[in-house]
């Protein structure tokens, strides 16, 4: 009964305002965004801004905003609720709307409509709505880029975890061959992690390949660091910005080629240089990895190479990069050349 009476009172006062042409409020006839909804909590305030009535939905919205005290008979500020929109509405005799976040992640939309009588504010209706979920979704939409970055970041972290576990496992292995095989896997996983790390820093899905190349080169050089291995790594050219779809397999291919040079070209401890050259003319990407080591074995053909490294390279070049790769003896050493067309549309 009390509900009905309260609503009737409010309705009557709005009716008087409509008769006075004071309602709807001039400023907001076109705005629909902040229109009241059926589920809104409603509070009725008297002329001194004290709560005369609070609907169950209003009480629960206040609870979610961290206000536990009974609102009836109190000013909102006195029970710990930010009453800025109410003061604003009472002072300006016009409606005021604000989003209030008193408890982290809990956002309450507060809308105060002043009730006017003879041009004076005689009370107010406060509509409250919990819009936390709505705002959370907005925020997620706004930060799609951030979300993608976060995913890459997680993929990178997971890969690093896997590679650490493998490294621990390699340490326990007795067989040198098994140890080497697991360490190879560690290196391959680290390369992919490196790409995801780069992607997690860059917005969008294309990346400056140098951001991968330099840390990758540092990683290879780390493996070269020993006095009995005077091998140098030299980089030239620039691959520019590449789509992640291209950069990821390309980084893996490059790692395999560098590793092969490290593993096979300087077997006898001879000194030497490994060179990487990249060129991007906007439509074609060319990459050359050369070394001045011992050279390929006699009768070597990349198409027939059965090692895992070159199998990975062949597969990625033909199925992911849609390019071609050639390996040839140089004098001295080996030259590997990769060419591919750059896809027009990234994504």
Out of 260, 278, 287, 340, the only residue in the binding site for ligand ATP (CB under 6 A) is 260
Is 297 among the residues that bind ligand ATP (CB under 6 A)? yes
Positions in 327-346 near ligand ATP (CB under 6 A): 334
Here's the x/- map for Mg ion, 209-248, by CB under 5 A: it reads as ----------------------------------------
Residue 197's nearest CA partner among 140, 236, 144, 158 is 158
Structure tokens at 303: 């198409």
Instruction: Identify the bridge partners of residue 111 per DSSP, sorted by sequence position.
Output: 97, 127
Choices 56-64, 114-122, 218-226, 256-264 (CB under 6 A): range interacting with ligand ATP = 256-264
On the CB side of 35, CA atoms within 13 Å amount to 8
Q: Which residue is nearest to ligand ATP (CB)?
A: 307
Quick check: helix, strand or coil at residue 288?
Answer: strand
Out of 65, 71, 193, 261, the only residue in the binding site for ligand ATP (CB under 6 A) is 261
Kindly give, in sequence order, each residue whose CB lies less than 8 Å from that of residue 288, ignoring residues fewer than 6 positions away: 275, 276, 277, 335, 336, 337, 338
Here's the x/- map for ligand ATP, 146-185, by CB under 6 A: it reads as --------------------------------------x-
Which pairing describes strands 206-208 and 120-130: parallel, antiparallel, or unpaired? Answer: unpaired
Kindly give, in sequence order, each residue whose CB lies less than 8 Å from that of residue 222, ignoring residues fewer than 6 positions away: none
CB of 313 to Mg ion, least distance (A): 8
CB of 260 to ligand ATP, least distance (A): 3
Residue 297 contact among ligand ATP, Mg ion, none, beta carbon within 5 to 8 Å by kind:
ligand ATP
Q: CA 167, CA 171: separation in Å to the nearest integer?
A: 6
Q: CA 244, CA 206: separation in Å to the nearest integer?
A: 5
Is 334 among the residues that bind Mg ion (CB under 5 A)? no
Binding-site ranges for Mg ion (CB under 5 A): 260, 309
Q: Name the residues that contact ligand ATP, by CB under 6 A.
A: 184, 256, 260-261, 263-265, 291, 293-294, 296-297, 305, 307-310, 334
């Amino acid at each position: 009964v009390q509900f009905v009476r309260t609503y009737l009172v409010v309705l009557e006062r709005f009716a008087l305002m409509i008769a006075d042409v004071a309602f709807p409020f001039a400023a907001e006839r076109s705005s629909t965004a902040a229109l009241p909804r059926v589920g809104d909590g409603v509070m009725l305030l008297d002329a001194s801004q004290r709560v005369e009535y609070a609907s169950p939905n209003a009480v629960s919205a206040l609870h979610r905003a961290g206000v536990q005290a009974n609102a009836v008979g109190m000013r909102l500020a006195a029970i710990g609720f930010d009453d800025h929109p109410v003061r604003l509405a009472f002072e300006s005799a016009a409606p005021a709307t604000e989003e209030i976040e008193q408890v982290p992640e809990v956002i309450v939309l507060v809308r105060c409509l002043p009730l006017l009588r003879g041009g004076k504010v005689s009370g107010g209706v406060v509509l409250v709505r919990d819009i936390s979920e709505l705002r959370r979704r907005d925020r997620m939409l706004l930060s799609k880029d951030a979300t993608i970055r976060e995913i890459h970041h997680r993929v990178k972290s997971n890969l690093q975890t896997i590679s650490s576990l493998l490294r621990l496992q390699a340490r326990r292995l007795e067989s040198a061959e098994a140890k080497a095989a697991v360490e190879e896997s560690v290196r391959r996983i680290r390369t992919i992690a490196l790409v995801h790390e780069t992607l997690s820093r860059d917005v969008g899905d294309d990346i400056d390949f140098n951001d991968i190349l330099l840390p990758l080169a540092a990683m290879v050089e780390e493996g070269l660091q020993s006095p009995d291995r005077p091998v140098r790594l030299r980089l030239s050219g620039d691959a520019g910005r590449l789509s992640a779809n291209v950069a990821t397999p390309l980084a893996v291919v490059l790692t395999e080629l560098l590793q092969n040079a490290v593993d096979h070209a300087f077997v006898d401890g001879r000194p030497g240089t490994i060179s990487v050259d990249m060129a991007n003319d906007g439509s074609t990407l060319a990459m050359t990895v050369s070394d001045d080591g011992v050279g390929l074995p006699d009768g070597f053909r990349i198409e027939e190479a059965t090692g895992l490294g070159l199998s990975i390279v062949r597969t990625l070049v033909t199925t992911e990069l849609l390019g071609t790769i050639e390996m040839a003896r140089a004098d001295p050493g080996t030259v590997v050349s990769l060419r591919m067309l750059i896809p027009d549309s990234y994504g």
